[in-house]
């Protein structure tokens, strides 16, 4: 056991919690004005969280679903944000919910029925299910068993979901080859009028098939889009099923359409007012353009759209079409991921007129990019609200930080930033909270408390240099960083902060160790401005590392002298463990 580490952690804990709780701030007692009865619980950010699907309810609230990293496995995660971009506390009390379990889970799809209930499709407890939640975020006891209905058959999981006119959940997704489609009754039981046992299957190509998107047209016919393999070629593939689950022979004569030898896949699907399928296309290799295809209602390429039913154009230096919607004017809106500068990803968007030409009234020449300095966003899904505003979700992370959060953004109908939604910025929401420990604290003159320590990754394999700040009331100080934290992951190995101090102008100085050459612990010093941004006038992006001896140094603490010089103390690594300053 490393007694030096134990002593440092114990000292930090003693600085935050003193003795048994007391009703008043008696000498030596806990301060009831700080945290919860004198104890502030600091939760770390999520590990590898991501939003995969999005839906908007009748009140304009945005529901996102995906997965949260619980350390040893992923779990189904749901959030609901109000129309201004803030989390909705009427949903599960916090605006977020992570389904507990002991086995893996991920939500891939979401839809909202006419009663405002939320249907979530995906994997829970390692089994394919549809979950129905009431508007308050609790499981609906009238659906399946305790709000959870298993998928019928053995080869289907809900990759994409839609709700038909009768309120039935219709979903698609395949564990092995074939396009599989299933339908559940309003109570969550399999609808045996669909395909005979609640599901239908068809093979699209000669190899593997992967359905990614689903839609229902005005006649109640079910369209599924995705990828089919024929030999060495991948083809975007669309199937149309009648309401009874049989293929619709009126659609291209077979109920199927494949883009011959195109090496493309369809990740997004929408149906316009003329029942024409519109596809968001991603090339399997090569082309870095945004691509859309449109078919006629009869299931053939629509020659009135683009060139032979296909429209392609670059957005920025790169971009791809991940999702598609059709607005009330019949214009086609695409969203995906592209380059955002500084090796970060950004949201790329485009709007097409009915003939496939770019719409000059959207963004710049029909295109728009949403990017933020220091952030990287991968778009997984998009929808339009009733005002025609684009709402996109995916995963977001800050530059050089390993954890990812649910990412969400809303743009105006013309592609511009929507200042009424989170100030026009991306919203990052962490869900599964990973553990850590605090090694040092430093009070500020304004009553806020800075702290330093470690934050564990999702698998508790590595730990990272962490600095944070609490408000005078013990709540995480979001003006310092997301959830009140700043994390510095070093690329070589684990790292940790072991000391923290405040200089004369309020800058926060954290010291600790970063593994260097030969796994020797090097001194790491990072200085932050009072608002939590790394100090650009100190080292490189506020960071300095130094290996004072070949064997390294164990860093124990830090002090600031009257000239704001930083004094680091510790011990030499190795058998002698000499004291070092």
What is the pLDDT, as a whole number, of residue 460?
Answer: 46
What is the pLDDT, as a whole number, of residue 392?
Answer: 96
What is the pLDDT, as a whole number, of residue 183?
Answer: 97
What is the pLDDT, as a whole number, of residue 21?
Answer: 34
In angstroms, what CA-CA distances link 180 with 9, 151, 157, 243, 280?
Answer: 54, 11, 9, 14, 20
Q: Residue 164: which of 89, 126, 114, 120 has the closest Cα?
A: 114
Q: How many CB atoms lie within 10 A of CB 4?
A: 14
Tokens of 285: 């290799």
Q: Which residues contact 353 (CB under 8 A, 6 or more apart)?
A: 331, 332, 359
What is the pLDDT, as a whole number, of residue 13?
Answer: 38
Asked if residues 368 and 382 have their Cβ atoms less than 8 Å apart, the reply is no
What is the pLDDT, as a whole number, of residue 481?
Answer: 75
Asked if residues 130 and 111 have their Cβ atoms less than 8 Å apart, the reply is no
Measure the CA–CA gap between 284 and 279, rounded to whole angstroms.
15
What are the start-end ranges of the H helices in 439-503? none
Secondary structure of residue 561 in the 3-state scheme: coil
Measure the CA–CA gap between 289 and 308, rounded to whole angstroms.
17
What is the pLDDT, as a whole number, of residue 147?
Answer: 97
Asked if residues 214 and 161 have their Cβ atoms less than 8 Å apart, the reply is yes
Q: Residue 181: which of 208, 154, 207, 158 has the closest Cα?
A: 158
Q: Which residues of the chain have pLDDT under 50?
A: 1-23, 45-46, 458-461, 517
Asked if residues 254 and 247 have their Cβ atoms less than 8 Å apart, the reply is yes
What is the pLDDT, as a whole number, of residue 25?
Answer: 54
Q: Is the whole model's pTM more than 0.85, yes or no?
A: no
Measure the CA–CA gap between 140 and 263, rounded to whole angstroms.
43
DSSP state for residue 435 in the 8-state scheme: P
Tokens of 469: 């700040």
302-318 pLDDT tens trace: 999 999 999 999 887 77
What is the pLDDT, as a whole number, of residue 543?
Answer: 87
């Amino acid at each position: 056991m490393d007694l030096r580490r134990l002593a440092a952690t114990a000292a930090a804990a003693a600085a935050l919690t003193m003795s048994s709780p007391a009703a008043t701030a008696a000498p030596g007692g806990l301060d009831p004005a700080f945290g919860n009865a004198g104890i502030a619980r600091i939760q770390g950010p999520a590990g590898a969280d991501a939003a995969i699907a999005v839906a908007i309810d009748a009140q304009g609230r945005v529901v996102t679903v995906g997965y949260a990293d619980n350390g040893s496995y992923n779990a189904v995660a749901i959030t609901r944000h109000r129309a201004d971009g803030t989390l909705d506390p009427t949903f599960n009390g916090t605006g977020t919910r992570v389904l507990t379990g002991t086995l893996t889970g991920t939500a891939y799809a979401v839809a909202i029925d006419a009663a405002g209930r939320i249907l979530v499709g995906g994997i829970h407890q390692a089994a394919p299910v549809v979950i129905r939640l009431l508007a308050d975020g609790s499981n609906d006891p009238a659906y399946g068993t305790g709000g959870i209905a298993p998928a019928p058959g053995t080869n289907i999981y809900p990759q994409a979901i839609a709700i038909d006119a009768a309120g039935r959940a219709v979903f698609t997704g395949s564990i092995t080859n074939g396009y599989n489609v299933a339908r559940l009754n309003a109570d969550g039981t399999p609808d045996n009028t669909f395909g005979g046992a609640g599901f239908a299957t068809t093979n699209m190509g000669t190899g593997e098939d992967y359905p990614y998107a689903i839609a229902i047209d005005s006649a109640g016919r079910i369209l599924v889009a995705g990828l089919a393999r024929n030999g060495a070629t991948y083809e975007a593939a669309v199937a149309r099923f009648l309401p009874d689950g049989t293929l619709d022979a009126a659609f291209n004569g077979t109920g199927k359409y494949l883009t011959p030898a195109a090496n493309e896949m369809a990740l997004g699907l929408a149906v316009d007012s003329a029942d024409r399928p519109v596809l968001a296309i991603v090339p399997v290799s090569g082309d870095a353009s945004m691509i859309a295809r449109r078919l006629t209602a009869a299931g053939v390429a629509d020659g009135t759209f683009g060139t032979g039913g296909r429209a392609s154009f670059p957005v920025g230096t790169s971009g791809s079409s991940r999702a598609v919607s059709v607005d009330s004017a019949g214009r086609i809106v695409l969203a995906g991921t592209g380059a955002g500068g500084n090796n970060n990803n950004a949201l790329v968007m485009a709007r097409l007129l009915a003939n496939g030409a770019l719409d000059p009234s959207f963004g710049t020449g029909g295109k728009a990019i949403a990017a933020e300095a220091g952030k990287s966003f991968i778009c997984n899904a998009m929808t339009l609200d009733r005002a025609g505003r684009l709402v996109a979700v995916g995963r977001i992370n800050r530059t050089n930080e390993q954890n990812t959060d649910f990412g969400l953004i809303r743009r105006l109908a013309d592609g511009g930033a929507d200042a009424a939604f989170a100030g026009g910025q991306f919203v990052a929401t962490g869900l599964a909270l990973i553990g850590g420990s605090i090694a040092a604290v430093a009070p500020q003159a304004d009553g806020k408390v800075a702290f330093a320590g470690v934050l564990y990754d999702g698998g508790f394999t590595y730990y990272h240099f962490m600095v944070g700040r609490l408000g005078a009331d013990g709540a995480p100080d979001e003006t310092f960083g997301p959830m009140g934290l700043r994390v510095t992951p070093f690329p070589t190995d684990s790292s940790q902060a072991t000391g923290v101090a405040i200089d004369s102008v309020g800058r926060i100085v954290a010291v600790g160790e970063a593994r260097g050459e030969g796994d020797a612990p090097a001194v790491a010093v990072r200085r932050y401005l009072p608002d939590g941004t790394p100090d650009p006038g100190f080292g490189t992006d506020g960071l300095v590392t130094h290996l004072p001896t070949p064997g390294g140094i164990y860093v124990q603490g830090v002090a600031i002298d009257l000239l704001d010089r930083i004094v680091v103390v510790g011990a030499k690594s190795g058998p002698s463990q000499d004291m070092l300053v």
